Structure formats: structure tokens, C-alpha cells
Amino acid sequence: MKNKLTHLSFLVQKINRQHIQLVFALLALAMLVLGAGAPETGGGIIGR
Amino acid sequence: MILLSAFLTGWLTGLAYARWQKRSYQIPKINCLWLAFVAFIPQLLAFYLPVTRAWIPDTPAAASLITSQALLLVFAWTNRRLAGMWLLIAGLALNLAVIIANGGWMPISPETAGHLVPAAVVQAMNIGSRFGYGKDVLLLPEGTHLGWLSDRFLLPEWFRYKVAFSFGDILVAIGIFWLLLRQGVPLRAILFR
């Protein structure tokens, strides 16, 4: 149990501020791309 | 899906490039990060979430698309120093222009739509009606404003995945690929340092 806690604490320390900033930046860019583009897929018609 | 493919390809290529250069992958500071999230919410509700998109009428959905894309344009403009962002801005502006010119929707011709769904489905639809739950509206080419900017391109027949996309979408795809590959650093920053 103690080993697991130590391992978890080590993993948390590895996730630093830069990683979180990168994730948010990538998420924001993904939203920009999804929102900017308007490709129409064949699946869009289903259910309407 | 086609834009997310460009996103993933650019990111993975950028990761491999950074690894090859023995450094960590990072993107320069993005201004007004919150604006991208706020701008995307209207589209998330009107087009992506199955629970909400089913009960939002077409008129508010069209308005939300224009509002969302206008806000995303502001977000992109505030980050125009990033590599590839000018292509993204151009693609977004072209898509927004054709959407505004056609009543808040991206036009698609019955002929192009016939490649995405069975022809009988297209024939049963009225011209001017929304195409599924997406951002497109079925319009005849002669009734389409800025037709060259509409969803008129198709993937080759041998692709199992069927999708129609616009010239603006192509610019957006190239822009995000370049941005993630270059990690936001313009080439001139390297050439002229």
C-alpha cells in the first residue's frame, strides 16, 4: 500500500504545470478546428 | 473526422520531430485560451451533443454557428503569430463568408450529398432543408452564393469514409497540421534569428 502511494505521488509530481498547459492548448486548438471547419459526413443524415 | 485526422497527424509528426531533436514537445503561450472554449459551446450544443441538438430549432442553430465562428475568428486573430494560424484564419473566414451568404448554413449540392447518403434519401429531401444534424443545407448550385466555397470536394471513391468538405476546410486542415508540426514557431523565426 505504501509503495502504491509512493508511486502515485511520483506520477502526480511528473504531471507538472507545463503538461497541463499543453493539454489545455491542444484542447483549445481542437475546438478551433472543429468549430472552424464544416465538413459534412455521410453519417450526419441518420436520425433526422 | 477529416480535420481531426489533420490535427492528430500534425501532433504525432510534431512529437516525432521533437523527439528526433531530443527536446520536449511544447506549444508557445496561447492568448485568450478561454475564448476557444466559450466560442465552441454554441456549436457543441447545436451540432455535436445528441441530447441538445435534437431539440434546438434550425434558426437558433444557424445563429449559433455564425456567432461561434465569429468568436473563433477573434480567438485565431489574437494568436496570429503562431505558425499556420494565418491558414486557419483564412479557412475559417472563407467558411464563415459562405455560411453567412447562405443564411447561416454551409451549402451542399444534391449531387455531392448523393455521394454521402443513398440517392433516395436526398431525393426525399426538400431543397433548402438542413442536411441531417450537421452544418449543411441542401441547395442547388444555381441557388448557392459563393458556390466555390461550399462543401463540394469529396474523398476518392476507394475511401470507405464518406465526407464532403470545402476549400476553407482544406486550409484549416493544412493550417492545424503545420501549427502542430512546427509547435507554433514560424519558419521565419528560425531562418532570421
Q: Give the percent of chain B with pLDDT over 70.
A: 96
Low-confidence ranges of chain A (pLDDT < 70): 1, 10-11, 13-14, 38-39, 42-48
B39-57 pLDDT, tens digit per residue, is 999 999 999 898 999 889 9
CA–CA distance, B105 with B103 (Å, rounded to integer): 6
Q: Where are the domains of chain B?
A: 2-191
CA–CA distance, B135 with B153 (Å, rounded to integer): 16
Tell me the chain B residues in contact with residue A15 when contact means C-beta distances shorter than 8 Å: none
Task: Tell me whether residues A48 and B133 touch, CB distance under 8 A.
Answer: yes
CA–CA distance, B14 with B178 (Å, rounded to integer): 9
CA–CA distance, A48 with B53 (Å, rounded to integer): 11
SS (H, E, C) B104-134: CCEEECHHHHCCCCCHHHHHHCCCCCECCCC
Residue among B116, B122, B139, B171 with most chain A CBs within 10 A, to mutate = B116
Task: Tell me whether residues B95 and A29 touch, CB distance under 8 A.
Answer: no
B114-123 pLDDT, tens digit per residue, is 998 888 888 8
In terms of CA atoms, which chain A residue is nearest residue B25? A22
The predicted model scores a pTM of 0.87
Q: Which residues pair with residue B154 across a beta bridge? A: B164
ipTM: 0.89
Q: Which residue is associated with the grid cell 531533436? A: B21
Whether the pLDDT of residue B75 is over 70: the answer is: yes
Task: Tell me whether residues B151 and A42 touch, CB distance under 8 A.
Answer: no
Shortest Cα distance from A30 to chain B (angstroms)? 7
B85-111 pLDDT, tens digit per residue, is 999 999 999 999 999 999 999 999 999
